[in-house]
Amino acid sequence: MNFYAIRSIYIFEMARTWRTLMQSIASPILSTSLYFVVFGAAIGSRVGDIEGVSYGAFIVPGLVMLTIMSESISNASFGIYLPKFTGTIYEVLSAPVSYIEVLIGYVGAAATKSIVLGTLILATARLFVPYSILHPFWMAGFLLLTAVSFCLFGFIIGIWADGFQKLQMVPLMIVTPLTFLGGSFYSIYMLPPIWQKITLFNPVVYLISGFRWSLYGVSDVNVAVSLGMTLLFLAVCIAVVWWIFKTGYRLKS
C-alpha cells in the first residue's frame, strides 16, 4: 500500500476545502440553521412531540443526513470530475499508484469533509433545540457509513458525468427529493397505510431511521434492517467502483 500517494491525494483534496471554506462548510451550516429556525422553532412549537421526542429535536437526524448525503455526493463527484475535466487524471492513472489507493485518497478526503460537517451541524443544533445522544457509538457508526457510502456514490457520478450539469442532476432530482420523502421532517407512521408501505421502498428511510434511533432510541424501521440496508448500499457502490476501475469506464477514453 502506497501511503505516500494516498496522503498526497488526501492532502490536495482537503486543501481545496480550506480554500473554499465559505462554500464547503459555512454555507451548509447556515442553510441547515435556517431549517432549525423555521421548522424547529416556528413550526415545532405547534406540532408537539413525535414518539416522545420534541419536533425540533426529531428533525435533527433528518437534517444531518440531508446535508451529509448531498455534500458527500458533491464533494466526491467534483473531486474526481475536475481531474477528468482538466486532463490531470491521466497523470494519476499513469503513476505507480493502484486504483485502491486513488479511491482511498479521493473518497477518504470527501468523507472527512462530510463527517466534519455533520459533527458541526450536530453542534450547531444545540443552539436551537435540546437533544440527547442515546447511543454515541452507533451514531458515529451510522455517520461514518453514510458518509463513505454516499462519497462512493458521488465518486461514481463524477466518473459518469460528462458535464457540470450532470454533477448536479442526480443530487437535485433524485437524492434530495428522496431525503425529504424519507422521514426527515416526519415519522412515516403519520402517513396513510398505503403510503407507509410505498415509503419503505425509499432507501433513505433506513438511513434516517437508523441515525434517529442512535440519538433517541426511536425509529420507523428496525435498526438491524436500517444497518443492513446501509451496508447493502455500501456494497453495491463498492462493486460498481470495482467494475469501473476494471473496465476503465470513462477513465481511459
Assess if residue 14 is contained within a domain.
yes
Q: By the 8 A CB rule, do 206 and 221 touch?
A: yes
Pairing of strands 49-50, 53-54: antiparallel
Q: What pLDDT is stored for residue 40 in this prediction?
A: 66
**How many domains does one find in the chain?**
1
Q: Determine, yes or no, domain membership for 253.
A: no
Position 155 scores a pLDDT of 93
* Spatial CA neighbour of 203 closest among 91, 69, 74, 85: 69
Long-range pairs for 239-245: beta carbons < 8 A, 24 or more residues apart: 240/156, 241/103, 241/152, 241/155, 241/156, 244/156, 244/159, 245/99, 245/103
Q: How do residues 132-157 score in pLDDT, each as one tens digit?
A: 899 999 999 999 999 999 999 999 99
Contact 193, 160 (CB under 8 A): no
Q: Which residues of 20-51 are buried (b: 16+ CB within 10 A; e: fewer)?
A: eeeebbeebeeebbebbeebbeeebeebeebe
The SS3 call for residue 145 is helix
- Is 44 a residue whose pLDDT tops 70? no
d(CA 52, CA 149): 31
Percentage of the residues of the chain whose pLDDT score is greater than 90: 36
Q: Is 54 in a helix, a strand, or coil? A: strand
**Grid coordinates standing for 49?**
412531540
Predicted local confidence at residue 88, as pLDDT: 76
Average pLDDT over every residue of 94-113? 87
Q: What is the DSSP letter of 80?
A: H
- Integer Cα distance of 60 and 66 in angstroms: 10
Rounded CA gap, 230 and 235, in Å?
Answer: 9
Asked whether the predicted pLDDT for residue 115 surpasses 90, the reply is: yes
Q: What is the CA radius of gyration of the chain?
A: 19
- Asked if the model's pLDDT at residue 92 lies above 80, the reply is no
Residue 252 resides in a domain: no
pLDDT at 138: 94
CA 40/CA 173 separation, integer angstroms: 25
Q: Report the percentage of the chain scoring pLDDT > 70.
A: 97
- Where b means 16+ CB within 10 Å and e means fewer, 59-91 reads bbbbbbbbbbbbbbbbbbbbbbbbbbeeeebee
Q: Quote the mean pLDDT of the chain.
A: 86
Q: Is 100 exposed, middle or buried (0-12, 13-18, 19+ CB in 10 A)?
A: middle
Residue 132 domain boundaries: 3-247
Whole-number Å distance between alpha carbons of 215 and 230: 17
Classify residue 144: in a domain, yes or no. Answer: yes
Say how far apart CA 19 and CA 25 lie, in whole Å: 11
* Listed range (44-48, 77-81, 144-148, 172-176) with the worst mean pLDDT: 44-48
- Per-residue pLDDT tens over the stretch 195-218: 888 898 898 999 999 999 999 999
